[in-house]
Structure 1
């Protein structure tokens, strides 16, 4: 049996970032940038007011309380550029007229006179006003030509806001790796409305993996429950390869029982079984193979927690490589309770974050760690990894903590693309 690090190194061998495509930013939501984006515009595109008030011509001087200004006209958001020699009323976001350089808020003036339309005609300051205050300068957020987003950045709502703000119409993103999912087991029932027969169970791995695969950045081609027969799985794998799947996942049939036929099927397909069984719990029977042509095959154990660990730490490692992302970096956080384990196996434990009175983060191991239990998985915020060599870990021991998603708790912008 291999240890975890050796297995991950074998998965990464020969994997490179996949092909790219150009998409409109909204169509690229959730995708990973293949190339850095540089701003084609200044943001803001012009000097504008940060508050409702009056724009003043101060230059470099400070205006004192009691100073009076003549006011002429009004500048609203969306009004075109114009020049002004005296103060003017201005709204938040409105372009500063040429010749005016400072904004005083409405609350810091008193109107001395109004024009016939009711607009201010003369004002007096009630406080001292510093030059340049309450103005947003052209390019203050980002200037034309400056880097906006790096390669390897995942596009979410904040990134969409920036891309829209700088007028970016297209981005180059990595194509989502295509994935096919097979669940094996004659005991599995997919229809939640169907009553269970004797010896049957609900298929929880299928919905979990389908959702997790999409959240991880893949394109799910197919999700199929196949019969407990080698020929059925062999045909299903051949169809998945023909469909262009870059990754194939199966659940169950990878241990050492009579019906654990996945290694037999892969042998018939002349796949290279890179490893089978690791020094870890849960998920020890995990299998990884490369099919002729390069499709990656992960045989995940059937128990839900074992399946989840296999996907989160090994399938996601391959997905990150195909997206051009660097290897994941966990948080190092202290355990809030002591833990014990058998030496020789890395132990992945369902865990949640906790915070003490001073706001310091820690890791709490949840109850219900058995590999068949789903209830505790639904309440976990991530996984704590207890190292293989450890046996007793006192409270306060620092451990690796990984969030439930592979890009939730760290900066993917430091990735290698």
Structure 2
């Protein structure tokens, strides 16, 4: 049995970087950039007005009370004009006529004269105007050639806004990891509409894993259930290999019982064992192996052992395969006293809240037995206690993690600078 940190180290050593594919920007949401995105242009692409008003030439400040003839009017989308040294009426977003370099808001001027068509002909400044006021200069947001988003970034809607503004039609993203799921157990009834026979239970690990992988932008190519024999498991693994998957994730048959055939079956397939049994709770019998260039995760069949295996073993591997940095570590104040068993890393279902000072608080839920699913559905986070945590009293500083991969710790809450 090895420690969690050593098990994770072994996995990350064998995590193979996935190749890049081109992706249209409109389909890139949630995917991970494979290469830096470099701006093809300045943003803004031209000097323009930040407000409705009058564009002027102001090499130095213009005095309050000074009067200026108005040559014409410039709206957003109009062709570039050349100023003859006079002011121009200008609208928000409109390009500054050549020779003009500052804008005075319309409300800070007095209209002295109109033309026959109603357009302004002469204005007076109510305040002094400083050079370059109220102008958005070309490249002031993004300079041409600048790296705007780094490789390893998970693409959000805000990135799509930036790409669209820069006229970027496609980006290189990491291709989706390909996953096969194999659930073992003759007691599993995979059809929820079917009645249960004697000794049967409805399969829940497969649907959970398939949904969790889908939410992490992984492609589940198969999710099948096999009986309690080594040969049916071997056949399922071989089918997965023919589909050229990157990960095979199985549940059940990995402990020490007479029907726990997975370790022997993997050995028969020629897999190289990375570890079997990790000093954690829940999920101690966890197994990982390398089968050629495929990583195999054999998780215990207990629901919370599956959830821990996905969140704390598979999720970090997926990040490494995509070229993403490790997750940041978050801390919270413990509101529930705990007495964990020494020598094991504990993963406990919890809720996390934020007090009025911005500090995070973790409340560990009751009924932490690994077969219980309802507390998992009620939780919002994990509390992680290291092997040497000892007695954790109320007010202790503990590590917390989001409940599911690629989710914020506090959904909908700005976490910048909080709890770390």
Normalised TM-score (structure 1)? 0.91
1:413 is matched with: none
2:76 is matched with: 77
Q: State the 4+ residue runs in structure 1 displaced beyond 6 angstroms.
A: none
Q: Work out whether residues 182 and 249 of structure 2, in 8 Å CA contact, stay in contact via their aligned partners in 1.
A: yes
2:283 is matched with: 283
Q: Work out whether residues 61 and 128 of structure 2, in 8 Å CA contact, stay in contact via their aligned partners in 1.
A: no
Give the CA RMSD over aligned residues.
2.1
Could you say if the C-alpha distance between residues 352 and 91 of structure 1 is closer, same or farther in structure 2, counting changes exceeding 3 Å?
farther
1:312 is matched with: 311
Question: How far did residue 406 of structure 1 move?
Answer: 4.0
Within 5 Å, give how 1:245-260 maps onto structure 2: 245-260=245-260
1:365 is matched with: 364
What SS does structure 1 have at the residue aligned with 2:2?
coil
Question: How far did residue 409 of structure 1 move?
Answer: 5.2
- Deviation string for 1:214-245 (max 9, x for gaps)? 23342221122223332222111101001101
Within 5 Å, give how 1:180-329 maps onto structure 2: 180-291=180-291, 293-329=292-328
Separation (CA, whole Å) in 1 of partners of 2:197 and 2:63: 84
Separation (CA, whole Å) in 2 of partners of 1:103 and 1:188: 72
What SS does structure 2 have at the residue aligned with 1:193?
coil
Which runs of 5 or more structure 2 residues have no equivalent in the other structure? 410-420
- Deviation string for 1:159-189 (max 9, x for gaps)? 2222222232332222222111122223333
Could you say if the C-alpha distance between residues 367 and 104 of structure 1 is closer, same or farther in structure 2, counting changes exceeding 3 Å?
farther
Question: How far did residue 139 of structure 1 move?
Answer: 0.3
Separation (CA, whole Å) in 2 of partners of 1:79 and 1:338: 67
Q: Work out whether residues 331 and 360 of structure 2, in 8 Å CA contact, stay in contact via their aligned partners in 1.
A: no
Separation (CA, whole Å) in 1 of partners of 2:190 and 2:63: 75
Q: Say how many residue pairs are matched.
A: 408
Normalised TM-score (structure 2)? 0.90
Within 5 Å, give how 1:380-395 maps onto structure 2: 380-395=379-394
Q: Work out whether residues 216 and 405 of structure 1, in 8 Å CA contact, stay in contact via their aligned partners in 2.
A: no
1:114 is matched with: 114
Q: Work out whether residues 275 and 288 of structure 1, in 8 Å CA contact, stay in contact via their aligned partners in 2.
A: yes
Could you say if the C-alpha distance between residues 202 and 116 of structure 1 is closer, same or farther in structure 2, counting changes exceeding 3 Å?
farther
The range that moved more, 174-183 or 342-351, is 174-183
- Deviation string for 1:104-126 (max 9, x for gaps)? 22333333333333333333333
Which runs of 5 or more structure 1 residues have no equivalent in the other structure? 411-417
What SS does structure 2 have at the residue aligned with 1:340?
coil
Question: How far did residue 198 of structure 1 move?
Answer: 4.2
2:144 is matched with: 144
Separation (CA, whole Å) in 1 of partners of 2:93 and 2:193: 55
Could you say if the C-alpha distance between residues 139 and 226 of structure 1 is closer, same or farther in structure 2, counting changes exceeding 3 Å?
same
- Deviation string for 1:116-167 (max 9, x for gaps)? 3333333333344332222111000110111211221222211222222223
What SS does structure 1 have at the residue aligned with 2:7?
helix
Matched, 1:67 2:38: no
Separation (CA, whole Å) in 2 of partners of 1:302 and 1:14: 24
1:332 is matched with: 331
